[in-house]
Amino acid sequence: MFGKIINYKIENNKLFINFEKRAGIIDIINPYVVNIFSALKYNDHYSRAIDNLKYEQCAVYFEQHNDYLELSTSELIVKVSDNFKVDFFNKYGEVLCEDYRNQREPFIRRGDSFLFEQEGHKAQEDSCFHKIEVIKKMYNDEKFYGLGEKTGHLNKKGYEYTMWNTDDGSPHVESHKTLYKSIPFFITLRENSAYGIFFDNTFKTYFDMGKENSNYYYFGADDGNLDYYFIAGPELDKVVTRYTDLTGTTPLPQMWSLGYQQSRYTYDSKERLMEIANNFREKDIPCDVLHLDIDYMDDFKVFTWDENKFPNPKEITKELSNNGFKVVTIIDPGVKKSKGYSIFDQGIENGYFATDKDGITYINKVWPGDSAFPDFTDSQVRDWWGDNQKLMIDSGVSGIWNDMNEPASFNGPLPDDVQFKNDGRPAAHKEVHNVYGHLMAKATFDGYKKHTGKRPFVITRACYAGSQKYATAWTGDNQSSWDHLRMAVPMLLNLGLSGMAFTGTDVGGFVSDTNAELLSRWVQVGCFSPLFRNHSAVVTRDQEPWAFDENTLNIYRKYVKLRYKLLPYLYDLMKQCESSGLPPMRPLVLHYTNDKNVHELNDEFLFGENILVAPIVEQGKNFRAVYLPEGNWIDYWTGETIKGMQHIIKKAELDTCPIYIKQGSIIPNYPELNYIGEKVISDLVLDVYPGDGEYTHYQDDGSSYNYKDGEFNLYKFTMTNDKNLVIKLETPHTGYKNHYKNFKLMINDKNINKVVFDNEEMSYIPTATGVEVTLPAVEGETTIQIH
Ligand code: GLC
């Protein structure tokens, strides 16, 4: 495709190479990140994922060799040879990633599929060749992670996927190649060394992770540029951080959006909504958010209310707000084709909708029937859509749920040639399909921010790389089945490694009827998913926490309460995520990369660095094997300390989700709350697991952007466990006036006989697991004598 190297030149940190047939560029972004580019369609990157490509000044060395050109930074060596073959080495000259030198050799499919198809099977398609293909040598020990929202296991080796946002109503199984999101980014890990590749191409892209041939893996695209970033580690977490440096991190959300959320397709009247709200309070289950699905609208017209079902929406949201509930409403892209409906009229008048190739408004069928599709690729349309959010905000709505934005229609995906303005670079649907939902979320985010001044709460179903900047996401229409609960864990973990840190699944499952046991186990995973929402489809059986028996209700309550208890810890994780890109829900391989036992753990995860969760995801099971990595771990329920680097068997009846705390952890806890903001928390509980450790707790107003101007507090705890247990508190930042008065330390050790804070002996109260001691929330040192 490229031919031999003819000549080259170096400008700044870029190496421009002319090959016989085309040109290529190697661009050093920083010592760890290199862009590989060939202008097969456009001369520039034209990225929808990277807002502002930041270069870091760094030394770059160049050498010309007989059969290759070499660029190096302090961390990486890049060698380029004929045919634009690019190989990457670490600074010691060890190979990290090599282009495969041979042609692809797909396996062959034998036989005639005719009778097989007559029986009702769908025959597998032959392997396709793509306009753009990058083929990389694959090593035996190579593992793959990331690729956004895909079915299957944590390790993506041996799978093939397509990036083409798809609303697929059939039960999602391991062989599904497409789902709602397209995040063309993956991480490979071998011999304790990780790197990532981000293929920034919005056309339909393809990823074969060694399925067709175990000698190589490849990625390809139907069109667009050859434009990928090589992101070096060698640490896995650094790859995630460097990827989110490029595409953006998840901004700190409003705290209530981390609370429990109840949804249903559909709560279709004010009475039903109020009944749900009251049930939460009566049954003592914390809840912050109620969702309204499509039936709240007048004839499915977006930005309207059906005032028969929901008379005076402003009063309804007010009444709910008085009881501590926020309301989130669904907004789909499809605008009902109906003259006299202001949104449709404005769209037509201003040319805001996508058109067919003759410039006529493109119409397809969704919930409202014939509908037009706003052209979110155009900034004017995004601004208009953003301003429309005000209609919802003025009704007292606190968050917006964007659905069907793959874009989906009742007739499948839109035709390839539907036309979009694409911010002055007109494009057909096939080019912008994968960023349609991403740009809808951006429009919603920007509008919400503009009209509230608060941190937006936007949920989106469709995503592209970088959507984390605008929205949280859920994994679409899952099934109420055990295999979907099982799949939820690796799916959320891989989303997190792909930048999407604020995600969750429909707790209980969306399609089909859930059951008491499944719901009880699902809430145990939901409790640790950043987005914690129960949602189910129309005509499925009730799925609210009280829809089954007393036992289910009690289990449900236990885990929702646990979530609220852990909220300040989760909020800390979201704050860290804003700067590091690391998701709250993490595969063990992120922190224990050198431990081979965790490379393929599909049913365990870390909730931050301090909590390990090993949920039960199988029917009828009341025990499981749990792998504990290096260090000592404390069983959250029994207090037993267990040595790591071993598999243990944990008994776990239906009400028990195995949870382990890393020794040396300090975990901030909230008191019991029905909803965020119910009480002013002046005394923060700290759940202390004696050992050596450090923890920084973050505090702000939980909703505004004032923290960006310094209105936040940091409380840094350093704990050492030598002769005595010593906990030192520093307050490196004190900008938020409502700081805590006291910290209530719950020290998980029963052998304490003296507590001294800054030379003053403190009283303490024995508890079931140790002692409770209240200390002023000021800098100082606490010495705890343990006999
Ligand atoms: C889609 C969504 C689902 C929603 C339904 C009705 O199927 O994925 O969550 O309830 O549409 O709006």
Residue 461 Cα: closest atom of ligand 1: 8
What mean pLDDT comes out for the span 147-163? 98
Closest CA to 626 of 638, 634, 614: 614
Q: Is 293 in the pocket of ligand 1 (CB under 6 A)?
A: yes
Rounded CA-CA distance 500/470 in Å is 10
- In testing the pocket of ligand 1, which one of 297, 330, 332 has its CB within 8 Å of the most ligand atoms? 330
Rounded CA-CA distance 603/487 in Å is 9
- On the CB side of 443, how many CA atoms lie within 13 Å of its CA? 27
CA angle 399–405–406, rounded 5-degree value: 145
User: Which residues have a Cβ under 8 Å from the Cβ of 608 and sit 6 or more positions away?
Assistant: 569, 572, 573, 576, 584, 586
> For position 126, what pLDDT does the model report?
81
- In testing the pocket of ligand 1, which one of 172, 404, 480 has its CB within 8 Å of the most ligand atoms? 404
Q: Which two tokens stand for residue 63?
A: 């050498």
pLDDT tens track for 409-448 = 999 999 999 999 999 999 999 999 999 999 999 999 999 9
Task: Using a pLDDT cut of 90, give the percent of the chain over it.
Answer: 97
Give, to the nearest 10 degrees, the angle between helix 429-452 and helix 379-394.
Answer: 40
Rounded CA-CA distance 379/311 in Å is 34
Rounded CA-CA distance 16/475 in Å is 41
> For position 494, what pLDDT does the model report?
98
Coil/strand/helix, residue 542? coil
Q: Is 403 in the pocket of ligand 1 (CB under 6 A)?
A: yes
pLDDT tens track for 648-694 = 999 999 999 999 999 999 999 999 999 999 999 999 999 999 999 99
Contact predicate 521/615, CB 8 Å: yes
Q: Is the pLDDT of residue 642 over 80?
A: yes
Q: Is the pLDDT of residue 787 over 80?
A: no
Residue type, position 56, single letter: E
Rounded to the nearest angstrom, the distance between the alpha carbon of 555 and the centre of ligand 1 is: 27
pLDDT tens track for 240-277 = 999 999 999 999 999 999 999 999 999 999 999 999 99
Residue 477 Cα: closest atom of ligand 1: 8
Rounded to the nearest angstrom, the distance between the alpha carbon of 504 and the centre of ligand 1 is: 15
Tell me how far apart the 2 most distant CA atoms of the chain are, in Å.
86
Q: Is 265 in the pocket of ligand 1 (CB under 6 A)?
A: yes
Residue 510 Cα: closest atom of ligand 1: 9
Coil/strand/helix, residue 377? coil
Q: Which two tokens stand for residue 3?
A: 């031919």
Q: Is the pLDDT of residue 125 over 90?
A: no
Q: Which two tokens stand for residue 258?
A: 């981390």
Rounded to the nearest angstrom, the distance between the alpha carbon of 440 and the centre of ligand 1 is: 17
Rounded to the nearest angstrom, the distance between the alpha carbon of 461 and the centre of ligand 1 is: 9
Residue 506 Cα: closest atom of ligand 1: 9
- Known catalytic residues are 403, 406, 477
Place of tokens 């005509």: 539
Q: Is 462 in the pocket of ligand 1 (CB under 6 A)?
A: no
Contact predicate 201/222, CB 8 Å: no
Rounded CA-CA distance 764/767 in Å is 9
Rounded CA-CA distance 474/587 in Å is 18
Phi-psi region of 53 (alpha: psi -120 to 50; beta: other; left: phi over 0): beta
Cβ atoms within 10 Å, residue 203: 24
User: Which residues have a Cβ under 8 Å from the Cβ of 553 and sit 6 or more positions away?
Assistant: 283, 285, 545, 546
Coil/strand/helix, residue 385? helix
Q: Is the pLDDT of residue 545 over 90?
A: yes
Q: Is 294 in the pocket of ligand 1 (CB under 6 A)?
A: yes
Rounded CA-CA distance 429/417 in Å is 6
Contact predicate 560/285, CB 8 Å: yes
Rounded to the nearest angstrom, the distance between the alpha carbon of 732 and the centre of ligand 1 is: 45
Instruction: Mean pLDDT check: name the lowest of 81-90, 107-116, 155-164, 528-537.
Output: 107-116
Rounded CA-CA distance 626/659 in Å is 10
Do β-strands 725-734 and 780-786 pair in parallel, antiparallel, or remain unpaired?
antiparallel
- Beta-ladder partners of 19: 5
Peptide bond into 407 cis (omega under 30): yes
pLDDT tens track for 207-220 = 999 999 999 999 99
Q: Is the pLDDT of residue 607 over 90?
A: yes
Contact predicate 200/50, CB 8 Å: yes
Rounded CA-CA distance 627/647 in Å is 4
Closest CA to 329 of 364, 301, 308: 301
Tell me whether residue 101 is exposed, middle or buried, using C-beta atoms within 10 angstroms of its C-beta: 0 to 12, 13 to 18, 19 or more. exposed
Nearest CA to ligand 1 atom 3: 477
Coil/strand/helix, residue 488? helix
Residue type, position 413, single letter: P
Residue 538 Cα: closest atom of ligand 1: 10
Rounded to the nearest angstrom, the distance between the alpha carbon of 265 and the centre of ligand 1 is: 7
Tell me whether residue 85 is exposed, middle or buried, using C-beta atoms within 10 angstroms of its C-beta: 0 to 12, 13 to 18, 19 or more. middle
CA distances, 413 to each of 181, 202, 404, 729 (Å): 14, 15, 11, 56
Rounded to the nearest angstrom, the distance between the alpha carbon of 512 and the centre of ligand 1 is: 13
Dihedral sign for Cα 388, 394, 396, 398, please: positive
Rounded to the nearest angstrom, the distance between the alpha carbon of 403 and the centre of ligand 1 is: 7
Q: What is the CA radius of gyration of the chain?
A: 27
- In testing the pocket of ligand 1, which one of 265, 406, 459, 538 has its CB within 8 Å of the most ligand atoms? 265
Residue 169 Cα: closest atom of ligand 1: 7
> For position 667, what pLDDT does the model report?
98
Q: Which two tokens stand for residue 144?
A: 């793959």
Tell me whether residue 696 is exposed, middle or buried, using C-beta atoms within 10 angstroms of its C-beta: 0 to 12, 13 to 18, 19 or more. middle
Element (DSSP H or E) covering residue 514: none
> For position 124, what pLDDT does the model report?
86
Rounded to the nearest angstrom, the distance between the alpha carbon of 458 and the centre of ligand 1 is: 15
CA distances, 263 to each of 328, 505, 507, 538, 778 (Å): 9, 12, 10, 11, 42
Do β-strands 216-221 and 132-137 pair in parallel, antiparallel, or remain unpaired?
antiparallel
> For position 521, what pLDDT does the model report?
98
Cβ atoms within 10 Å, residue 308: 9
Task: Using a pLDDT cut of 70, give the percent of the chain over it.
Answer: 100
> For position 474, what pLDDT does the model report?
98
CA distances, 771 to each of 347, 565, 661, 744, 781 (Å): 64, 18, 18, 10, 17
Do β-strands 472-474 and 503-504 pair in parallel, antiparallel, or remain unpaired?
parallel
Distance between start and end Cα atoms, the chain: 74
- For the chain, helix (H) and strand (E) counts, in that order, are 11, 52
Dihedral sign for Cα 220, 221, 223, 226, please: negative
CA distances, 132 to each of 183, 201, 236 (Å): 17, 10, 27
Q: Which two tokens stand for residue 603?
A: 């049913």
Nearest CA to ligand 1 atom 10: 265
Task: Name the pLDDT band for 1 (thresholds 50, 70, 90).
Answer: confident
Element (DSSP H or E) covering residue 735: none
Nearest CA to ligand 1 atom 7: 477
Q: How far is CA 490 from the centre of its chain?
A: 12
Rounded CA-CA distance 293/402 in Å is 10
Do β-strands 458-460 and 399-402 pair in parallel, antiparallel, or remain unpaired?
parallel
Nearest CA to ligand 1 atom 4: 265
Q: Which two tokens stand for residue 527?
A: 């409790």
Rounded to the nearest angstrom, the distance between the alpha carbon of 294 and the centre of ligand 1 is: 8
- In testing the pocket of ligand 1, which one of 403, 484, 539 has its CB within 8 Å of the most ligand atoms? 403
Contact predicate 464/48, CB 8 Å: yes
Length of the chain: 787
DSSP result, 402-441: E-STTT--BTBSPPTT-EE-GGGS-EEHHHHHHHHHHHHH
- In testing the pocket of ligand 1, which one of 510, 539, 540 has its CB within 8 Å of the most ligand atoms? 510
Q: Which two tokens stand for residue 409?
A: 């229609």
Closest CA to 196 of 584, 487, 510, 497: 497
Q: Is 476 in the pocket of ligand 1 (CB under 6 A)?
A: yes
What mean pLDDT comes out for the span 8-22? 96
pLDDT tens track for 466-480 = 999 999 999 999 999
Rounded to 5, what percent of the chain is helix, strand, coil? 20, 30, 45
Residue type, position 255, single letter: M
Q: Is 477 in the pocket of ligand 1 (CB under 6 A)?
A: yes
Q: Is the pLDDT of residue 786 over 90?
A: no
User: Which residues have a Cβ under 8 Å from the Cβ of 610 and sit 6 or more positions away?
Assistant: 569, 661, 662, 665, 667, 695
Rounded to the nearest angstrom, the distance between the alpha carbon of 518 and the centre of ligand 1 is: 21
> For position 583, what pLDDT does the model report?
98
Residue 332 Cα: closest atom of ligand 1: 12
- In testing the pocket of ligand 1, which one of 170, 172, 293, 459 has its CB within 8 Å of the most ligand atoms? 293
Cβ atoms within 10 Å, residue 678: 15
Q: Is 237 in the pocket of ligand 1 (CB under 6 A)?
A: no
> For position 757, what pLDDT does the model report?
93
Residue 537 Cα: closest atom of ligand 1: 10
Q: Is the pLDDT of residue 192 over 80?
A: no
Rounded to the nearest angstrom, the distance between the alpha carbon of 293 and the centre of ligand 1 is: 7
Tell me whether residue 14 is exposed, middle or buried, using C-beta atoms within 10 angstroms of its C-beta: 0 to 12, 13 to 18, 19 or more. middle
Rounded CA-CA distance 327/399 in Å is 7
Residue type, position 148, single letter: G
Residue 265 Cα: closest atom of ligand 1: 10
Residue 404 Cα: closest atom of ligand 1: 1
> For position 433, what pLDDT does the model report?
98
Q: Which two tokens stand for residue 173?
A: 């199984």
Averaged confidence pLDDT in the chain: 97
What mean pLDDT comes out for the span 112-127? 90
